[in-house]
Each structure stands twice: as C-alpha cells, then as structure tokens.
Structure 1
Amino acid sequence: ADDGLVVTIGYLITEAESLWITTSDGVTVPGHVVGYDQETGFGLVQALQPMGTPSMALGDSGAVQVSDELIAAAYGGLEQAIKTVLTAKREFAGYWEYVLDEALFITPSHASWGGAALIGEDGKLLGIGSLLVQQIGESGEQSGANMIIPIDLLKPVLDDLRMYGKRNAPPRPWLGFLVQEVSHHLVVSGIYDGCPAERAGLQVGDIIREVDSDPVSGLANLFRRIWRSGHAGVDVPLTIMRNRESNTVTVRSIDRNDSLKSASIH
C-alpha cells in the first residue's frame, strides 16, 4: 500500500523483535511487524519511514489458470525477476499443522522464493512465495517448483491483521507436533518443547490412527479433523500405535500465537 504496508511470508517475521526493510534502490528503513495469520501464512510489516517505492495492487488469484505465464520477483529489482508458468492449483498440506485448500505452484522456481511476489500480466500481485517443493511430471521426472500462497486468501483477513495483528476469530486448536506420511501411515516426526503434544506424552515415531475415534488418512484429513474438534483449548483425543500397541492420548490444545514471542504494539 502507499502507506508503507508490506505483505510477506509469515515465517520470515515470526518472533521478530526488530526488522529493517531494504528497497531495490538501496534505501533502508525500519519496520514493525503488524500481523501474522497462522491459517494462511501471510505476514504484514509496516515501514516506519517513507520507502519511496510505488505500491502494487492486489490481483485476482482465483482467475489465474494453469499454463498462464507469470512473473516471480524477489529483492534485487529486474535482475531478480523471472518468467514462470503456473503448473498447478491444488490442495497443500504441510507437516507443521498447515493446510491450504488451494495453493499455486509455479515452474521454473525462483531461487529466493521466501516472500517473493507472483505477478500477473497486468502487474498485480497474485501471491507470495512460501516453499520450494519437488514435482513429478507425467514422464516421472522431478523438477523444483515454488508453492505460492494465493493473494485472495489475504483479502478477507487484511483488515483484521491491520487492526488486531491476527484474524479476529476464535483460533484453531494447535498441538505442537510435526507429522509426516510414511508408507500411508501418519507418523509423528517432531514435537515442540513445552507444547501440548509433549505435555500429553506423544513421542516421535507414534502412528496416529484416529482423532476422537474417527479414522484419519493423509495430513490434510488429520489436521482438518483436529480443527473440527473445536477452538483452541479443546481436548483432542488421539488414537495412536506405539510399539505395536494401541493407546489413546488426549492433548489439551492451545492457540499457536500464545506460544510465540511478539513485539506487537496491538
């Protein structure tokens, strides 16, 4: 925006106590974290001094089609802008309790994907770069692709992030574990120190079979079933397999934001 509001990927600014913004012209100004949306992954930063750069309008990421030619641009001006192609629009599930109903995927990938802008032919912002992933083509070849968070997901929560620093709605339950799919099993691959999963006694290597007696398959299905249990603070019963024995572990969930340090002025 013309008032110095910058949209980026949230993991770049999580728990930041101070930050600086540098433009492609070499102008550096102080900034402040405005907000971070856990559900989408977007982060907002406010420049505290004029940057002297033009703003970019938000585009319509829902209208972009597979095979459309686009531009991916990161810090560094035109030298860091590349032509790319939208290769897929599909669901994405991340092992850190994260699901997008529809993400954008582009190839070739940008080397500086984190926080990069995906720009349409009209010069409007279509999304923000999040990850480098591997895609398998029809002939079996692997190629690097960027996962892009569609800008349409920002629009419904933009005012909330500016006003409150997060979306103004009851937060999802968060358990504080990492889960990966291994041979069609949902395996706990990591647990955050001091978080609900650790306090409940979950262990790395546990296989998750059910949430509140409902069988689950796939990361997206697992996380959505946890979120359907209620708001942050709800007890989430998990049926797990450990050492070939079935056990039930009840995890008292929390709001993810409560576990993060914040320099917010909200």
Structure 2
Amino acid sequence: MNGSSRWLGAQGSVEARTPGNESNLPSDVVDGLPAVVGLHTTIPETRRSVQHLGSEREGHGVVIDDEGLIVTIGYLITEADTITIKDGDGQEYPATLVGYDYESGFGLVRATVAPPVKPMPFGDSDQLLLRSEAYVAGVGGEKATLKVKVAGRREFAGYWEYLLDNAIFTVPAYPLWGGSALMGLDGTLLGIGSLLVQEALGPGSPAFPGNMYVPINRLKPIFRELVEKGRLSTPPRPWLGLYTIEHMGQLVVGGIFDGGPADRAGLKRGDFLQALDGEVLDDVADFYRKLWASGPAGTPVTLRMERDNDSFEVTVRTGDRSSYHKYGSG
C-alpha cells in the first residue's frame, strides 16, 4: 500500500509529463494545481502499522477548504504522530489528524495554518467512464502532472480486508501515486490516489501498469460526519487482521496482523481459507461480504481452514480495526 515519493523528490524531481507538452494543460487544471500539497508523516516505532507501512510515509494531499482541510489516502496517516504539509513553494505547515474512514480509505488532516492556495472543489466522479480523460497531479505544478485515461470502473478487493465498489483505474501509471489528485478537465477533484496496480486493464487482460483511485463521490455522503466526529457513527465492520490473497483458485492467508483477532486465534501465514460460518468462500470479495454480513465488530465467526493437508475449524472473535491502531503521543 505504500505509494509515496521521497520527501525531497515530491517537489517535482520526477518529470511526469511528456517533454514539450507543458502548455497543453486546460486552464482550469492549471489553476487547481497549487491545491495539491506534499504530505509527510512520522510514526513511532512501537505502533503496529510500522511493520507493514513503515515509520515514515510520504505522499500527497489536496486542500479542499479555506481553513486548511486536506483530503489524502488514509494509510499515509495511520497512527501518525506528526503530520507535515509542504506546498508547491516549499513552505511547510504542521497538520493534525481530523478523521479516517477505514471502509473507503479516505483520510482528512488540517494544517494549523491554511496554505495560501485556492481549495480544489469536489467534482462528480460518476461522470468518469471507460476511456474518459483526466489529469493526475502531485505537488510540483505542471511538471508533476500527467494526462491519463480511465482504463476501467470496477470493484477492487484489497488483501488488507478492503473492498471498494466502482474504483477508478487509470493509465499510464503515475509514479508518485499515494494521495495524488485525480482531476477532471474542469479542475475539480474526482479521486485520491491509492495504489499502483499491474493489471489496470482488468482481470484476464495483458499486464499493464496503472493506478487505482478512490472516487471522490465515495467521500461525499460521509464527509460532514468525518469532519465533525473523526469517524462514522455506524457500527464498525468485523475485522480479522488478515492479509488474504488468491492463489490457484484458493484463498490463502498471506500475512497476519500481530496481536489481531486472527493472530490470537492461532491462524498462520500459508493457511487456506475454505468457508465462513459454513458458507463456502468463492473469492476475496465474497469472503469480505460474508464476513461483514456476520454482524458488527466483536461478532465471533467460524472459519474452516486447511493447513498441511488437514482441515480444521477455528472460531475467531472479530475486532474493530480502528481500535487496533493508536493515534497521538504516548
């Protein structure tokens, strides 16, 4: 999930657009570029997410109001102790966590002093269809901007217990994807960069690298509550603390969160997942849907597993992913 650039490199050392193409950006896109800022976080070595995401993370965010509110991708700020924003002129601003929605992947932070830039308005990400044109931008202005096309709108199942309906896949690949802005031709914000993917054209298509963007329309219905409360008031989904991958038509435990529900229940990397509460699992997305339909966080589920050619069942008391991570000092 690490989609960041080097902190100094985020100032535009990567020439993302074709030479000689600098003057071809729509004026609305050019006007919106200063709203894209760099983001740097530090995470204490004792925090659980360091094992998978590192103790320093770098990427981007987008200023979306006049008071320094910034939207980014959540994994950049998970368990962050310090958050620093850098604008296109190199000015740095401390920032604080506002909210994180684990289900969508959006994170919000606020700079203690609002950067002197025009906020980027939300657009309508539903208007992005197959082959639609858009622009991807990181901090650094025009030279850090790339013209892209939509390679697909489809479901995305992430191995970290994450499922996103109608994700946006773009090509060509943007190298500094984490928290980058997907902009419409009118300069509005249509998505936030989440991943580099190798099959941007879809399953069964030739490998072609691209990026996955979380549609901004996914943020709109939860935005106000996330700003006011930091998280949603709906019951949290049940969480196992597994990395799940598909291999040769089977679901395999690819990793386990230390101290998480699956770890406490004795599951191991390399175990095969066969069924949940007696229902056979078809694929990763089907696994997540069945898990989340079992009840709120804390609901026990029974998994049928296979290890060393032996099948067995284990009951796991699910947890709340947000309570697993720690924020703030200490």
Cα distance per residue 1:177-235 (max 9 Å; x no partner):
11110100000111111110011111111111111001111100001110100000000
Cα distance per residue 1:67-105 (max 9 Å; x no partner):
111000011111101100011000000111000111000
Which residue does the alignment assign to 2:106? 42
- Alignment map for 1:176-187 (pairs within 5 Å): 176-187=241-252
| Shift, 1:167, TM fit | 1.4
Q: 1:112 aligns with which of 154, 176, 183?
A: 176
How large is the RMSD of aligned CA atoms in angstroms?
Answer: 1.5
Q: Is the 8 A contact 2:138 2:180 kept in 1?
A: yes
Between the aligned partners of 2:173 and 2:218, the Cα distance in structure 1 is 22
Q: 2:216 aligns with which of 143, 151, 171?
A: 151
Runs (4+) off by over 3 Å? 136-141
Cα distance per residue 1:116-164 (max 9 Å; x no partner):
0000011110000000001276996422110000000101111121111
Which residue does the alignment assign to 2:128? 64
The two structures have a TM-score, normalised by structure 2, of 0.78
Q: Aligned to 2:198, what secondary structure does the other structure show?
A: strand
Which residue does the alignment assign to 2:189? 125
Q: 1:83 aligns with which of 132, 147, 159?
A: 147
Flag structure 2 segments of 5+ consecutive residues without an equivalent.
1-64
Identity of aligned residues (%): 46
Q: Report the residue type matching 1:250 in the other structure.
A: T
Q: 1:217 aligns with which of 256, 275, 282?
A: 282
Does residue 1:252 correspond to 2:317, yes or no?
yes
| Shift, 1:263, TM fit | 2.2
Flag structure 1 segments of 5+ consecutive residues without an equivalent.
none
Which residue does the alignment assign to 1:23? 87
**Shift in CA distance, 140/159, structure 1 to aligned 2, threshold 3 Å:** closer
Q: Is the 8 A contact 2:200 2:210 kept in 1?
A: no
Q: Is the 8 A contact 2:200 2:211 kept in 1?
A: no
| Shift, 1:237, TM fit | 0.8
Which residue does the alignment assign to 2:273? 208
| Shift, 1:241, TM fit | 1.2
Which residue does the alignment assign to 2:291? 226
Q: Is the 8 A contact 2:151 2:200 kept in 1?
A: no
Instruction: State the aligned residue count.
Output: 264
Q: In terms of mean alpha carbon deviation, does 172-181 or 132-141 score higher?
A: 132-141
Q: Report the residue type matching 1:57 in the other structure.
A: P
| Shift, 1:50, TM fit | 2.4
**Shift in CA distance, 136/92, structure 1 to aligned 2, threshold 3 Å:** closer
Q: Which has the higher strand share?
A: 1
Does residue 1:5 correspond to 2:55, yes or no?
no
